[in-house]
Structure 1
Amino acid sequence: MIVVTGAAGFIASCLVTRLNAANFNDVVVVDNFSVAKKMANLEGKKIKEYVDRNDFFDWLEKNYEEVEFIFHLGARTDTTEMNREVLDLLNLDYSKKVWNACCEYQIPLVYASSAATYGSGTLGYDDDENMIPLLQPLNPYGDSKNDFDKWALEQTAKPFFWTGLKFFNVYGPNEYHKGRMASVILHAYNAIEENGSFTLFKSHNPDYKDGEQMRDFVYVKDVVEVLFWLMNHRKNSGIYNLGSGQARTFLDLTFNTFTAMGKDINVDFRDTPEDIRDKYQYYTQANMDKLRSIGYDKSFHTLEEGIQDYVQNYLMTNSYY
């Protein structure tokens, strides 16, 4: 059996699809299944068992001998969440319990970290583990992810194979439930459909013009390919970046969304909300050399390719992956 936590969410549900496509059908999904808006992500997938996240460790104690691998992708992913108790409970303490269980039962583990750990990027975006204690995230969410990375590296007891992945700006199908935290592509698509235009945040940094803030946007299908590869690789434990390796502007993203929809480009700008303005990342770009160095050689979608596939094969057809 393969366990996927956070399974009704965005990336994890796409991973279940990828596992099924490779004939891994004994997938155990773990989540808070009371959140009905996420459940459409799992419809039609081959799933062995649904386990509530609060019952998972009792379940694992009874079934660990049958578990081949754990993908721990469940987390509180709202970057505007200010309640550190919630973040510590779900992102730090729960992850520690998963880690310790994998050590006890000798189960390999891949877990989700985040590019939010890099903060403003003043120390760069290299996944050098020696730099992790020095990173200064811009929000409590980033702190919670970096705190677990630091804790994991400090442990003398480790799963025989483990990997933490610093996800950059992931976009693609199955993010429909995420509301404000969904990718700008989804927000752009909905706005363009509704009124034929889209409004981006202004830049409040003199080094960047409006709309020229840059992020490393990575297509979810590329993310799950890396996850699947790591499950089969099971060597070179550690913490790795997972982005496209190429920063692009929000204008690039928006123009490509208009183009994929066959619509005329019409972009406006508004002030960045004050609650995120001083915690806003103006540039991110994953250094992908470390993952490449251990043998991952598949190419990633360009932004143009990823947006075209997402818009035309999922958003325009109301489809899930």
Structure 2
Amino acid sequence: MIIVTGGAGFIGSNLIHQLNALGKRNILVVDNLAPAPNLSGPKFLNLQAAQYADYMDKLDFLEALLEGDFDDTEIEAIFHQGACSNTLEDDGRYMMHNNYDYSKVLLHYAVDNKIPLIYASTAATYGLSEVFKEVPANEKPLNVYGFSKLVFDNYLRRRIENIDSAVVGLRYFNVYGPREQHKGRMASVIHHFTKQLKDTGTIRMFEGSGGYADGEQRRDFVFVKDLCRINLFFAGLLPDSPKEPVQAIVNAGTGNARTFKAVAEALMAVHGEGKIEYIPFPGDLKNRYQHFTEADVAGLRAAGYTAPFTSLEEGIKQTFAEEPVK
């Protein structure tokens, strides 16, 4: 069995579809399908046409894990994609319980049973740092989401030398692709810009901020299918996967930052021409917004992952070939 937490979400559901493409069907999907004010649609639609063996609510799964219900189950890998990723969520107690405590339980279970654990960390651990290398000096989260992920990364760091099974934390940068329509405000700018372009013919982006001119803020946009491949690689499920299990926390980004203007241009190449309008920077994002991100991929390459990344232009083409905008 393969376990995917957050399996109905954006990255988790894409991972399940890619596991299916590898012929994997014995998959346990773990998620929370309760209504949430930050979601703009149902997550379960992401699993249409996916093949999996079972589904469990995340709280039921955690209880079953702690009670030993999986002790006789042969588990090939655990992909821990489940978390509250709302960067505007300020309930620190909820965030730590949901993102930190839950992850610790999974880590100990996976290590004790020598099961590969590949989990989602985030570039939000870096905050306003302009150096995105996986060392503590660069880690300055601006929100409790980034803090919750960093605390777990540090929990793993204190134990990593005593682990001999695969445990890899992937610091996701700005992920985009199909199956993110439910994410509301937390969806990628690719998703938001597309809706604006289709609805109004105009893409609205922030005026200059953080020392960058209008539309020149830069992000490391990474295609979700590339991220899924990195997950599968470190879990030992690909022909080029490492021969020995890896223990590491590495960046999962392209290493090539692109401007918001470049995103708009790539979208117009797919959907048709439109206008760009610059809008004032939102007050609720002040002091919690990353104006620039660019993964240092040296750690990822040193850990053995050498595959190229999909370009922004090609990733956008693939996204809307698979998920046409209505």
Q: What TM-score results when the alignment is normalised by the length of structure 1?
A: 0.92
Of 247, 251, 254, the residue aligned with 1:241 is 251
Moved more, 281-290 or 213-222: 281-290
**In the TM superposition, what is the alpha-carbon distance from 1:57 to its structure 2 partner?**
3.0
Q: Which has the higher helix share?
A: 1
Aligned counterparts of 2:85 and 2:119: Cα–Cα separation in 1: 13
Which residue identity does 1:78 align to in structure 2?
Answer: N
Between the aligned residues of both structures, percent identity stands at: 38
- Taking the aligned partners of 1:110 and 1:314, their CA distance within structure 2 comes to 27
Partner of 1:273: 282
> Aligned to 1:223, what secondary structure does the other structure show?
helix
Deviation of residue 159 (structure 1)? 6.1
The equivalent residue for 1:119 is 127
**Please, which moves more after superposition, 161-170 or 49-58?**
49-58
Distance (whole Å) between structure 2 residues aligned to residue 252 and residue 272 of structure 1: 19
When residues 3 and 185 of structure 1 are mapped into structure 2, their CA distance, relative to the original with a 3 A threshold, is same
Counterpart of 2:20 in structure 1 is: 20
Instruction: Output the CA distance in 2 between the equivalents of 1:132 and 1:47.
Output: 39
Whole-Å Cα distance in 1 between the matches of residues 324 and 192 of structure 2?
11
Q: 1:43 to 1:159 in 2, by over 3 A?
A: farther
2:318 to 298, 309, 315: 309
Report Cα offsets for 1:254-274 as digits up to 9, x if no partner: 11111111x223000111211
Asked if the contact 1:240/1:291 (under 8 Å) is kept, the reply is yes
Aligned mates of 1:52, 1:78 — CA distance in 2 = 20
- Partner amino acid for 2:46? N
- Show the counterpart of 1:285: 294
Gaps of 5+ in 2: 36-40, 237-241
- TM-superposed CA distance for 1:152, in Å, is 1.2
The residue that corresponds to 1:105 in the other structure is: 113
Partner of 1:174: 179
Match of 1:251 among 261, 281, 287: 261
CA contact (8 A) 2:143 2:288 kept: yes
C-alpha separation between the residues in 2 aligned to 1:297 and 1:120? 28
8 Å contact from structure 1 (residues 213, 250) kept in 2: yes
The secondary structure found in structure 2 opposite 1:121 is coil
**Which is worse superposed, 225-234 or 84-93?**
225-234
Q: Secondary structure at the residue paired with 2:225? A: helix
Q: What is the distance in 1 between the residues matched to 2:116 and 2:232?
A: 13
SS of equivalent residue, structure 1 residue 18: helix
What does the per-residue CA deviation read over 1:29-71, in whole Å, with 9 as the maximum and x for residues that have no partner? 1111334700011122111110111111343322243212101
Paired residue for 1:75? 83
Q: Secondary structure in 2 aligned to 1:87?
A: helix
- State how many pairs are aligned: 311
Distance in 2 between residues matched to 1:177 and 1:242, nearest whole Å: 23
- Contact 2:119–2:169, Cα closer than 8 Å, also in 1: yes
Q: 1:290 to 1:134 in 2, by over 3 A?
A: closer
Q: CA deviation at 1:311?
A: 2.5
Paired residue type of 2:195 = N
Answer whether contact 1:132 1:150 (CA < 8 A) is retained. Answer: no
CA RMSD of aligned residues (A): 1.6
For the residues of structure 2 that align with 1:239 and 1:90, how far apart are their CA atoms?
A: 20
What letter is aligned with 1:135?
E
Cα contact 2:163–2:247 (8 A) shared by 1: no
The alignment's TM-score, normalised by the length of structure 2, stands at 0.91
Tell me, in whole angstroms, the C-alpha distance in 2 between the residues paired with 1:200 and 1:158. Answer: 45
Residue 139 of structure 2 corresponds to: 135
- Residues 133 and 150, structure 1, Cα contact 8 Å, conserved in 2: no
Counterpart among 136, 144, 148 of residue 148 in structure 2: 144
Which 5+ residue runs of structure 1 have no aligned equivalent? none
CA-to-aligned-CA distance 1:250-303 (integer Å, 9 cap, x gap): 010011111111x22300011121111221111110111222223222211111
Contact 2:27–2:52 (8 Å) recurs in 1: yes
Check the 8 A contact 2:126/2:138 in 1, yes or no.
no
- Structure-2 separation of matches of 1:277 and 1:254: 23
What letter is aligned with 1:209? Answer: A
Partner of 1:54: 59
CA distance in 1, matches of 2:294, 2:251: 10
Distance 1:132 1:13 in 2: 31
**Which ranges of 4 or more aligned residues in structure 1 deviate by more than 4 Å?**
none
User: Distance in 1 between the 2:311 and 2:62 partners?
Assistant: 40
Measured in 2, the distance between the counterparts of 1:203 and 1:224 equals 33
Alpha-carbon distance in 2 for matches of 1:159, 1:174 = 34
Structure 1 window deviating more from structure 2 (271-280 vs 243-252): it is 271-280
**Residues in 2 aligned to 1:150 and 1:133: alpha-carbon distance in whole angstroms:** 13
